[in-house]
Amino acid sequence: MNRFTGLLIVFTAFIFLSCNPKKSVDSLKPVSIAQLKTNPSDYLDKRIVITGTVSHVCREGGQKMFLFQNHPDSLIRITTGPSLTEFTIDLEGKEVEVTGIYRQLKIDEAYLTDLEKGQMNDKGHTNENPSIHKNEPVAGNIQRLRERIAASGSGYITDQWIEAESFTVLSDKD
């Protein structure tokens, strides 16, 4: 009976460990901005790792920074997530690795109409859309978004960003 119990314990432990593999951040393969823009649905609401050079950190609160990889014209916005309070301006020009959740928002006329109603009915309403910049009046932002939607020809535009969980400075590019 002892031998049987020992084998049963070993077998049970083997089954338990093989059914619950641990996934680490290290197992995430870095994603490029081009991959995100080409196949956004492959990454939507998933945890990703991206590296790039910080081109800008927003001066108002530091909740946004912009990364580029090979070409400074191709940017992705990184926002602070629940575990980060702000990015500091000394990150500008540095290469960083960011781990976070890839987010996307579809902005169409219905979305903008709802946004306008919310702004008109609730003076204390704070907009959670990262496309809207705090310093610009909401009406101006909405008009700017309508113009972009009209120019798109598809009836909508998408806003894409990464909600950062953590980041590491890799090097100083200066």
Q: Residue written as tokens 């200066």?
A: 174
- The CATH code of the domain that includes 119 is 2.40.50.140
Token duo for residue 84 = 């980060």
How many domains does the chain divide into?
A: 1
List own/partner pairs for 11-19 with CB under 8 A and 24 or more apart.
none
Query: How high is the pLDDT of residue 95?
Result: 95
Contact in structure between 76 and 162 (CB atoms under 8 Å): yes
Q: Residue written as tokens 């109603």?
A: 117
DSSP classification of residue 89: G
Query: How high is the pLDDT of residue 76?
Result: 94
In a domain, 145, yes or no: yes
Q: In order along the chain (174 residues), what is the average pLDDT of each group of 10 residues?
A: 59 55 61 90 95 93 92 88 92 95 92 78 45 57 90 92 95 68
In a domain, 116, yes or no: yes
In a domain, 6, yes or no: no
Residue 88 belongs to domain spanning: 27-172
Give Cα 168 distance to the centre of its chain: 15
Query: How high is the pLDDT of residue 74?
Result: 85
pTM of the model: 0.69
Residue 159: other Cβ atoms inside 10 A:
15
Query: How high is the pLDDT of residue 15?
Result: 57
In a domain, 126, yes or no: yes
